[in-house]
Amino acid sequence: MTTPQKLAQLRELGTATVYEAQGAKGALDQGMKPIDPTVRLAGPALTVDARPADNLILHHAVLQAKPGDVLVVDAKGFMEAGPWGDVLTLQAMKLGIAGLVINGCVRDANLIIDLKFPVFCRGLSIKGTGKNQPGKVNVPISIGDAVIRPGDIIVGDRDGLVVVAADEVDMAIEKSLVREEKEVKQREAIEAGTSNTVELLNLGDTLKRFGLV
């Protein structure tokens, strides 16, 4: 079971560490970034398959979410509409939703940032959307090369987003902590002047092979 404590650990460890620790997998593409770089996010995905330029399914999905869920929306990367804005943000916060990840755009960014609601998206668009097309909730979706299934854990910070399979959370945390401890020791060695990155990463032979030393 993914407890609040485990989510807090993943949020604190950060996306780069978790991504590398779980075998360099699960990263969403670099175009998905927070509108507020100070936010951090970790929570189970409530997945949404949405039609471009239509947000009918988002109004439905918000009401299906449990407190702590992250809405993860595949809006097909459409950049000429903002299907999420201030009204949906306020409702999501009222219901305890932890954040939004959308493969598309949002609008009303200043208010969303002021409200401290974590939103990760491809960009901003002031253009509105229709409310006419059906979609799907709680189905597997893909954003870039990453497949997100309902209940998978989404971790987000300034660097980007990574998905952790629901049944691999404990492993991801364990390996991330080991990696974090190793990197702390590396930083300490560099700060103390007792080592350098070539020595720490055993790059000497590779550099010699390329005639660089």
Which pLDDT does position 213 carry in this prediction?
85
Question: What's the rounded Cα separation, in Å, for the pair 99 and 72?
Answer: 9
pLDDT tens by residue, 149-170: 999 999 999 999 999 999 999 9
Identify the helix (H) or strand (E) that includes residue 45. Answer: strand 41-49
| Residue 1 pLDDT grade (very low, low, confident, very high; cuts 50, 70, 90) | confident
Question: So where are the chain's domains?
Answer: 4-166, 173-209
pLDDT tens by residue, 90-146: 999 999 999 999 999 999 999 999 999 999 999 999 999 999 999 999 999 999 899
pLDDT tens by residue, 52-85: 999 999 999 999 999 999 999 999 999 999 999 9
The answer to whether the beta carbons of residues 57 and 141 sit under 8 Å apart is no
The pTM (predicted TM-score) of the whole model is 0.94
Long-range contacts of 168-175 (CB under 8 A, 24+ apart): 168/22, 169/2, 169/6, 169/10, 170/6, 171/22, 172/10, 172/18, 172/21, 172/22, 173/6, 173/9, 173/10, 173/13, 175/21, 175/22
Structure tokens at 172: 């991801």
CATH architecture of 4-166: 3-Layer(bba) Sandwich (3.50)
pLDDT tens by residue, 12-31: 999 999 999 999 999 999 99
